[in-house]
Amino acid sequence: MAIRKLDENGNYRLFDTKTQSFIDEQPLASSIGQINGQTSLSASGSIVEIDEIKPAEVDETGLSIPGEDEAQIKAFIKQAISIDNFIETFNENSHLTLLKLLALQDNKHPLKKGGVNIAYRTDALIMHCKMEFSAEENVVFDAILGTMSSFPENKSYRIAPTDFVKFSKYDNVQTLYRTFRSGTKKLKDRHLVFDELGPDGKDDIEVPWFNVLRYHNATKDENAFIEFVPSDFFKDLALCSQIVHGAYGALEVTTQLRGKYTIALYWFLENKKDFKTYKGAKPGIFEMSMEELKHQFSIPQSYGKTDMERRVLEPAKVSINNVQECDFTFDYSPLKANGSVAGYRFLITKKNYIDAKPEEVKIIDVDPFEDQIKMLLDMSGVVFESTEISNIYKCAKRNNRDAAFMMQIISAFKTRLDNQELNDVEDRLAYLCAMIENGTSGKITVAVTKKSSNSFNNFSQRDDDLSEIEKIMLNR
């Protein structure tokens, strides 16, 4: 005999009294466009109410098997944000959760993979908080999450934008400074919003994420930095990685995304890429109604199909799918009900990498002068290998040459290569280095007939009058 019974997640499911286990019942029809209380046939032929079928959260294998620690943490968090006791017991519950999470910080239960450049957002931050952060706020918020989860024992934190230059995709450090300054200013007035709580789903709760926060502007002797003390509850959320379901995101990805809808959708899709609607289903496929999309991403109620695709979905698709460092791509297709678009089906496709383990990016200091030389060569159309460009740069530095001098030399070198009346230059590296050493006047000995294994020895010789080449260059 089968009866309807509440499961551990508070959902009504079919329960077999003989086997004392729940029976998985998945509807054959989609819930998109259906009215409340409408029923559908399940795969086994039973009649189920679609509103009662809620897909369970799953791990990367598609199974939902919470361990003892995960179940306890979820219970702590659920109690901490329960509408019935939130206000009265918030501090106590948050502190208990925090102590439990810190106790689990060992080799068996690492709190987070990756370093400070990898942020972790729990379901509570992705699914239950309205994602209204701007692009600048998201960058700062992820840097904060990544730092907190990397140093769980700290009570206060100091974050310098310069520490994240190597992880971002900004052109220069000044852009990151402006982003941190603007994002921090906006986050000062931002709270975590948990909505649709309470028995009738009409209660909202705002929770501050910090106790103290300041942005210190750069001085002559000190870089800019953010200093803050997180609230216990926010720290709970930051430390839940690998214990409570959520998603990881890299700063090198989020700094390439623009627009609050795009970034919010990125985190939502990261959270859903291993999701299965039922056991054995293909992961990364799910559906959302128009109303669900508008609610989750704070999209104006006036948006129809055209605005939803033109202003939200298509820009996000183009932006996310073009980020090489993002580990997935996605596509969407409209779902129609009664002749109009009632929602969308999403398909997330994970990219195949040999090693997807996040690694800290190593900074290689490059002299801007070397980049200038490369740019001048590119502009002239003269192609050299990267190792040859490095040798050209070293030669220029050794002879105390500057960018203006190299512009003249490369132009003269290009003229020499294009001169059909003279023999071909076979050892171009040696020739250009000789020009750097001698300038564009006088005579130099160059390699023109035989390329040697050593760029500076054992080559056939010829005298070229570079002053004549300079005259040809000036008269073109």
**Of the candidates 160, 352, 135, which has an alpha carbon nearest to the alpha carbon of residue 253?**
135
Over range 435-458, report the average pLDDT: 57
Whether 418 maps to a domain, the answer reads yes
Are residues 95 and 23 both part of a single domain?
no
Are residues 39 and 164 both part of a single domain?
no
The CB density around residue 187, as the number of other CB atoms within 10 Å, is 23
Q: What's the pTM value of the predicted model, to 2 decimals?
A: 0.58
Of the two residues 323 and 166, the one the predictor is more confident about is: 323
Task: Count how many Cα atoms sit within 13 Å of the Cα of residue 34 in the half-sphere of its side chain.
Answer: 14
Are residues 145 and 248 both part of a single domain?
yes
Q: What is the mean pLDDT of the chain?
A: 76
pLDDT digits (tens, 9 = 90+) for 459-473: 444 556 555 555 555
Can you tell me the distance from the alpha carbon of 200 to that of 150, in angstroms, rounded to the nearest whole number? Answer: 39
Last residue of a domain, one of 274, 290, 312: 274
Whether 254 maps to a domain, the answer reads yes
Are residues 221 and 260 both part of a single domain?
yes
Are residues 31 and 134 both part of a single domain?
no
Are residues 252 and 378 both part of a single domain?
no
Is residue 26 a contact partner of residue 277, using CB atoms and an 8 Å limit?
yes
Are residues 8 and 128 both part of a single domain?
no
Q: What pLDDT shows up at residue 20?
A: 73
Are residues 100 and 218 both part of a single domain?
yes
Whether 461 maps to a domain, the answer reads yes
Of the two residues 143 and 457, the one the predictor is more confident about is: 143
Are residues 94 and 235 both part of a single domain?
yes
Tell me what percent of the residues of the chain surpass a pLDDT of 70: 67
Last residue of a domain, one of 239, 257, 274: 274
**Binning pLDDT at 50, 70 and 90, where does residue 226 land?**
very high
Whether 32 maps to a domain, the answer reads yes
Can you tell me the distance from the alpha carbon of 143 to that of 117, in angstroms, rounded to the nearest whole number? Answer: 7
pLDDT digits (tens, 9 = 90+) for 269-310: 998 988 887 777 888 999 999 999 998 888 999 999 999 999
Whether 204 maps to a domain, the answer reads yes
**Of the candidates 155, 142, 133, 136, which has an alpha carbon nearest to the alpha carbon of residue 115?**
142
Are residues 42 and 111 both part of a single domain?
no
Can you tell me the distance from the alpha carbon of 27 to that of 18, in angstroms, rounded to the nearest whole number? Answer: 23
Last residue of a domain, one of 255, 274, 293: 274
Can you tell me the distance from the alpha carbon of 399 to that of 432, in angstroms, rounded to the nearest whole number? Answer: 13
Whether 429 maps to a domain, the answer reads yes
Q: What pLDDT shows up at residue 430?
A: 87
**Most confident listed range (176-190, 304-318, 414-428):** 304-318
Are residues 47 and 72 both part of a single domain?
no
Supply the DSSP string of 198-227, one letter for each residue. STTS-EEEEE-SEEEEEEEPP-SSS--EEE
Whether 363 maps to a domain, the answer reads no
Is residue 373 a contact partner of residue 308, using CB atoms and an 8 Å limit?
no
- In sequence order, the β-bridge partners of residue 207 are 192
pLDDT over threshold 60, residue 80: no
Instruction: For tokens 């509408």, name the residue.
Output: 83
Are residues 19 and 111 both part of a single domain?
no
**Binning pLDDT at 50, 70 and 90, where does residue 57 land?**
very low
Can you tell me the distance from the alpha carbon of 361 to that of 153, in angstroms, rounded to the nearest whole number? Answer: 25
Whether 263 maps to a domain, the answer reads yes
Can you tell me the distance from the alpha carbon of 442 to that of 419, in angstroms, rounded to the nearest whole number? Answer: 18
Q: For the chain, what is the domain count? A: 3
pLDDT over threshold 60, residue 360: no
Q: What pLDDT shows up at residue 453?
A: 43
| Structural domain harbouring 42 | 2-52
Over range 350-377, report the average pLDDT: 68
pLDDT digits (tens, 9 = 90+) for 406-429: 988 998 888 888 888 878 887 888
